[in-house]
């Protein structure tokens, strides 16, 4: 049986490091990934977004913030460097739905990989209205 593949955005992955709403679901996804039951694809952008979110979160000490860099690079993500096709799709989606290009990079990557995209950004899910975008709270 082929492993399920998911694209996770920064709003999901940051929950691996702090206790927020839906952290339990994010951790279940992480555990399935670490156990080898899932593949996780992320655009390179994810690293910047997670670190930026962590940088402004006062829950983390300076040491924690630096350690998260090592933690992220110890994970065997399938990292996609967006190409012209992915960025064109992200721009098309952004213009159609009045949403940020960088949010749509994740969706474009998921469509290129032919898999679902999981996000904890409920406003984005409401605006994008796409069947292949799953709100983290609804996953499972």
pLDDT in tens, 123-132: 999 999 888 8
Domain extent, residue 49, equals 4-138
Sheet holding 78-80, edge to edge: 78-80, 38-43, 4-8, 116-119, 133-135
Question: What DSSP element (H or E) covers 33?
Answer: helix 23-34
For 20, which DSSP code? Answer: -
Give the model confidence (pLDDT) of 3-51 as tens digits: 899 999 999 999 999 999 999 999 999 999 999 999 999 999 999 999 9
Query: In Å, what is the CA distance from 33 to each residue of 28, 53, 78, 84, 100?
Result: 9, 22, 11, 28, 28
Structural domain count of the chain: 1
* CATH code, domain carrying 19: 3.40.50.1010
């Amino acid at each position: 049986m082929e492993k399920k593949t998911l694209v996770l955005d920064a709003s999901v992955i940051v929950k691996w490091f702090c206790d927020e709403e839906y952290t339990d679901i994010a951790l279940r996804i992480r555990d399935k990934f670490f156990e080898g039951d899932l593949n996780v694809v992320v655009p390179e952008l994810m690293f910047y977004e997670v670190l930026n979110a962590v940088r402004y979160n006062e829950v983390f000490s300076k040491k924690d913030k630096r350690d998260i860099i090592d933690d992220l690079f110890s994970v065997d993500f399938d990292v996609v460097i967006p190409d012209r096709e992915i960025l064109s799709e992200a721009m098309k989606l952004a213009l159609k739905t009045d949403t940020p290009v960088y949010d749509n990079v994740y969706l474009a990557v998921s469509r290129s990989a032919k898999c679902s995209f999981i996000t904890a950004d409920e406003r984005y899910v409401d605006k994008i209205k796409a069947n292949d975008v799953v709100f983290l709270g609804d996953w499972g």
